[in-house]
Amino acid sequence: MKKATAQKAAKRVTKKSAGGQGNGIDAVFAAYPPPVKSKLLALRRLIFDTAKATKGVGALEEALKWGQPSYLTTESKSGSTVRIDQLKSEPGGYAVYFHCQTDLVETFRELYPELRYGGNRSILLDAGEKLPEGALRHCIALALTYHARKKAARSE
């Protein structure tokens, strides 16, 4: 029953894209292999929970970008898009992707050197390992507030 409650909570803060993309997103999640699928669904819940708990983020829009589940701060425009997907080159691998022209991943590297990174655009994870929830929650919150923080820094 706990899983259903988390899904309902996620839907409360979700605005699906027009054109029935919700079904496309569901199909993408359904196509993932079981160990990766469960980790990506947990990551999806973490993104929605983090957005809900982070001041100024507002509702997220869940959409497909480049065929990947993506989370946008369309309402508040407070942050940078966060995407999640399996790693094609690494069975059991999956990642959280961030805009590569931001300094987000560079910041994450300084804060969390123990995490594994893919260049300047992703945090790499393994379905066989425990989700580093605390670090990911912080990194996701930083991404979802990226534009708001940059704007605040410029106005100081």
Beta strands in the chain (DSSP E): 14-16, 60-65, 68-72, 82-86, 93-98, 116-118, 122-126
Token pair for 129: 């390992």
Span 107-144, pLDDT tens digits:
999 999 999 999 999 999 999 999 999 999 999 999 99
Q: What is the pLDDT of residue 147?
A: 87
Q: What is the pLDDT of residue 156?
A: 67
pTM for the structure as a whole: 0.84
Q: Which of 116, 108, 95 is nearest to 146 (CA)?
A: 108
Q: What is the pLDDT of residue 119?
A: 94
Span 47-104, pLDDT tens digits:
999 999 999 999 999 999 999 999 999 988 999 999 999 999 999 999 999 999 999 9
**Orientation of helix 133-144 relative to helix 104-111, angle to 10°:** 150
Q: What is the pLDDT of residue 20?
A: 40
The pLDDT confidence band at residue 148, using thresholds 50, 70 and 90, is confident
Q: Which residues contact 49 (CB under 8 A, 6 or more apart)?
A: 6, 9, 10, 137
Higher per-residue pLDDT: 73 or 7: 73
- The topology under which CATH files domain 2-154 is Aspartate Aminotransferase, domain 1 (3.90.1150)
Q: What is the pLDDT of residue 52?
A: 95
Would the pLDDT of 23 be above 70?
Answer: no
Contact by Cβ (8 Å): 108, 117: yes
Higher per-residue pLDDT: 57 or 149: 57
Token pair for 100: 């590569």
Give the C-alpha separation, 24 to 1, whole Å: 25
Q: What is the pLDDT of residue 33?
A: 96
Q: Where are the domains of the chain?
A: 2-154
